[in-house]
A and B are shown apart, each in its own frame.
Chain A
Amino acid sequence: MNDTLRTEKIAFFCLLIATIVVIIPVALILTIVLVRGLSAFSWEFIFAMPREGMRAGGIFPAIVGTVYLTLGTAVFSIPFGILAAIYLNEYAGRNWLTRTIEIAIINLAGVPSIVYGLFGLGLFVTFLGFGASILAGSLTLAIMTLPVIITATREALSTVPNSFREVSFSLGASRWQTVRNVVLPNAIPGILTGTILGLSRAAGETAPILFTVAAFYLPRLPLSVYDQAMALPYHIYVLSTQVPNVSLKIQYGTVLVLVGMVFLLNIVASVIRSRFRKKKTW
């Protein structure tokens, strides 16, 4: 008996070590980025235009570009993502078409991000003639974000008890009326959480925007959806691999801004999720 218990103790200790190995780097990375990046922060860094080939000045246009792209992604992916989830959960029957759609969504979720970049280049930039633009970039990111939004919305819709639907139908409501009046309002918190998380991922993506929108240096801020834009992920990539003599401080600072934006979105999503879990009346 002593032997097996000792084996268990050893085994559990190894498991603990493994978990620590997984978690510690996260803390390390975040700490490094925070400490080294914070020293680059200044009013100028955040709000001014870049100077000297990006070696001085600010990263404001990259921040703005990322914001525009995230908004564009939201505009294109959220409505269709929610409607698609409604179709799958509330309207579709169990048949081959539904199964095919589900397989398609799984595949869209697994397509490598660079392949999305190629797709965006082929369809939006070239074939439809949008050129490298915020429009092309947003559309590409939107298709990439679609599976995330659909999945999160489907989960939110399924948490609404079926009895609510049955009551609504029994009072003579049509399916759309039931969805609109009973299902959707009660699924909104879950939908919001999932959507914001999906957008936070889109904000951090580099490969899809490489050929569809990103530029390293633009003299002014983008003025229309047909303009190219700078973007934080791309900026980090070029600064750290292609531009010589950029101070590490600036690189870390840019990384910190991106991580900060992404984490801010994540925190907002978490707060929404926990606040509504408390307020839930059912």
Chain B
Amino acid sequence: MKRPFEYIIEKLIFLSGIASIVFVILIFVFLLKEGLSLFGSYNPFAFIFGKNWYPISDPPQFGILPLIVGSLWVTFGAIVIAVPLGIAAAIYVAEVAPHWLRDYLKSGIELLAAIPSIVLGFIGIVTLAPWLKYLFHLPSGLTALAGSIMLAFMAMPTIVSIIEDAIVSVPKSYREGSLALGATHWQTIYRVILPAASSGILAAIMLGIGRVIGETMAVLMITGNAAVMATSILQPVRTLTATVAAEMGEAVAGSGHYYALFAIGIILFIISFIINILADMFMHKK
């Protein structure tokens, strides 16, 4: 009964639907294909827990612990900055700001989201890093802290908009009930609304973490270039993402270095997979 065109297009529709699953699997497979080749000749534990990343020495050492530490410093710093600011800004926009201001603020935050990360990295190099160097009397401003600050701003739009949505979807009755009992607006916010929006806040944090861990270019440009274990946030570091970006250009295809970088890719993929599943769970937990 169906005309042939309709039959074909409906098949295409179905195939497009499952394409996403296909791509996720494909990405994982290709990462595994190249990355697992490392572990034929290199101990996986030495990979994950090794303290030395010397990929071009002889013999090469592929310990990614300093890189993990670098990623952790930068992420931790970014979250510490972004979450409180993000929650505060979200509350302000959703609950406190006068109506006429609200749209401008939301546009401003959308504008922040639209700036490409390479531009933020560039601004970081030319303005933020020299300033940090001056402020903290450092040999160089290219540090984990610089990365954290820029990344905090990159994650901000995501965090603010998710928390704002969560606040707005708290049922009116909660609000009215609290005010009716004599609480002030602020008391209602931190006693009633924020707890009610907590799963959204958690989801925002998770997605913020995901955004930050996955960022590549900005961290590559401003966290310095030291693949060593950092002991403070004012030291230069190297993140997992930046390492891949910086070194793949020089790694010979098929060499241990090449496979090691893909292996880092596997780790990154798994981390983002877990974070996204968790975030989705929090979003749907009502």
* Known contacts A12-B96, A114-B268, A241-B221; A207/B216 CB under 8 A: yes
Q: Select which of A33, A105, A150, A241 is within 8 A of B119 by beta carbon.
A: A33
Determine the distance from Cα of A259 to Cα of B262 in the docked complex, in whole angstroms.
Answer: 31
Determine the distance from Cα of A258 to Cα of B111 in the docked complex, in whole angstroms.
Answer: 14
Determine the distance from Cα of A123 to Cα of B25 in the docked complex, in whole angstroms.
Answer: 12
User: Does A164 reach chain B (CB closer than 8 Å)?
Assistant: no
B116 with A233: CB separation less than 8 A:
yes
B244 with A114: CB separation less than 8 A:
yes
> Which of B96, B190, B217 gathers most chain A CB within 10 Å?
B217
Q: Which residue of B lies closest to A24 (CB)?
A: B108
User: Does A204 reach chain B (CB closer than 8 Å)?
Assistant: yes
Q: Select which of B27, B126, B156 is within 8 A of A115 by beta carbon.
A: B27
Determine the distance from Cα of A91 to Cα of B280 in the docked complex, in whole angstroms.
Answer: 23
* Known contacts A80-B19, A114-B265, A259-B115; A91/B277 CB under 8 A: no
A255 with B119: CB separation less than 8 A:
yes
User: Does B24 reach chain A (CB closer than 8 Å)?
Assistant: yes
A237 with B2: CB separation less than 8 A:
no
What is the CB-to-nearest-CB distance from B162 to chain A, in angstroms, rounded to a whole number? 13
Residues of B within 8 A of A29 (CB): 115, 119-120, 123
A32 with B272: CB separation less than 8 A:
no
Taken residue by residue from 12 to 25, chain B's Cβ proximity to chain A (1 for < 8 Å, 0 otherwise) reads as 11101111110110
User: Does B67 reach chain A (CB closer than 8 Å)?
Assistant: no
What is the CB-to-nearest-CB distance from B89 to chain A, in angstroms, rounded to a whole number? 4
Interface residue total, chain A, C-beta cutoff 8 A: 86
Determine the distance from Cα of A122 to Cα of B35 in the docked complex, in whole angstroms.
Answer: 10
Taken residue by residue from 166 to 185, chain A's Cβ proximity to chain B (1 for < 8 Å, 0 otherwise) reads as 00000000111100000000
User: Does A268 reach chain B (CB closer than 8 Å)?
Assistant: no
Determine the distance from Cα of A75 to Cα of B116 in the docked complex, in whole angstroms.
Answer: 22
Stretch of A2-10, A56-64, A218-226 on the interface side: A2-10
User: Does A126 reach chain B (CB closer than 8 Å)?
Assistant: yes
B13 with A114: CB separation less than 8 A:
no
What is the CB-to-nearest-CB distance from A226 to chain B, in angstroms, rounded to a whole number? 19
Stretch of A41-49, A81-89, A155-163 on the interface side: A81-89
Taken residue by residue from 68 to 93, chain B's Cβ proximity to chain A (1 for < 8 Å, 0 otherwise) reads as 00000000000000001110110111
Residues of A within 8 A of B121 (CB): 237, 240
Residues of A within 8 A of B84 (CB): 18
A122 with B33: CB separation less than 8 A:
yes
What is the CB-to-nearest-CB distance from B124 to chain A, in angstroms, rounded to a whole number? 10
B116 with A104: CB separation less than 8 A:
no
Residues of A within 8 A of B27 (CB): 111, 115-116, 119
Q: List 6 A-B pairs, minimum CB-CB distance, nearest first.
A: A204-B116, A112-B214, A87-B17, A18-B88, A83-B16, A8-B186
Beyond known contacts A4-B184, A91-B17: 12 more, CB 8 A cutoff: A16-B96, A18-B85, A79-B16, A107-B273, A110-B275, A114-B245, A118-B262, A201-B116, A207-B245, A233-B217, A237-B221, A258-B116
Give 26 CB contacts A-B under 8 Å.
A11-B186, A15-B91, A18-B89, A22-B89, A22-B109, A22-B156, A26-B111, A33-B123, A87-B14, A87-B16, A103-B280, A104-B23, A108-B23, A110-B273, A115-B31, A122-B31, A122-B33, A146-B19, A146-B20, A147-B20, A176-B10, A203-B116, A204-B116, A210-B249, A248-B126, A251-B122
